[in-house]
Amino acid sequence: MGKYILVIAVCILLVACSKNTEVENNILLGFSESSINAQPGDLIEISIIFENCPEPIFGMSFQIEYDNSIISFVDSTGVIQGDYFSENSLSFCNEAEGVIHLAFTQVQSEEMITGSGIIGKIYFHVLTSGSTQMEIINSSLHFYDAGGNEVDIPDLILSNCEININ
């Protein structure tokens, strides 16, 4: 009887460990925080993160949507480049009516990249009380190789950020 209990305990432990490994290896594009609390007048910094990318990419583009009556994108800073792409990489940032259009690319002499890192940082002024969901628009998301061909990244999880202003 004692052997059976030991075998069952070992099986449960193995299943629990394998589930933790799966969670750690998720391919994720999103924000460094899932929730931010702020007050009117605050300046919010939000990092855009990319974790566990298995496919080599040369560039990417996507859009972020939010409620611009609650928070206001700081156009003067645009996007501050993170550590995911090389320091010589190029970025594009344009905001229009609550949608930020972003694109990042390596330069021609650089290698394609995989792995994890910060894509960039964006800043917002808090305008008024309320809440808004910062969300990457799935249909706007594209990854590219060095030849300009679109790269498919299956099982990618997009994470959002809830901003609550009191």
Q: Phi and psi for 78 in degrees, rounded to 5?
A: 60, -125
CB 157 within 8 A of CB 138: no
- Specify if 117 maps to a domain: yes
CATH number reported for the structural domain that contains residue 109 in this entry: 2.60.40.680
- Number of domains, the chain: 1
**pLDDT 10s digits, 59-72:** 999 999 999 999 99
**pLDDT 10s digits, 79-105:** 999 999 999 999 999 999 999 999 999
Query: Would you say residue 15 has pLDDT above 70?
Result: no
Residue 67 buriedness (CB in 10 A; 0-12 / 13-18 / 19+): middle
- Specify if 18 maps to a domain: no
Query: Would you say residue 55 has pLDDT above 70?
Result: yes
**pLDDT 10s digits, 101-137:** 999 999 998 999 999 999 999 999 999 999 999 999 9
- Specify if 7 maps to a domain: no
- Specify if 49 maps to a domain: yes
Domain residues for the domain of 153 are: 27-165
Residue of 64, 113, 70 lying closest to 93 (CA atoms): 64
- Specify if 58 maps to a domain: yes
pLDDT band at 25 (very low <50, low <70, confident <90, very high): confident
- Specify if 53 maps to a domain: yes
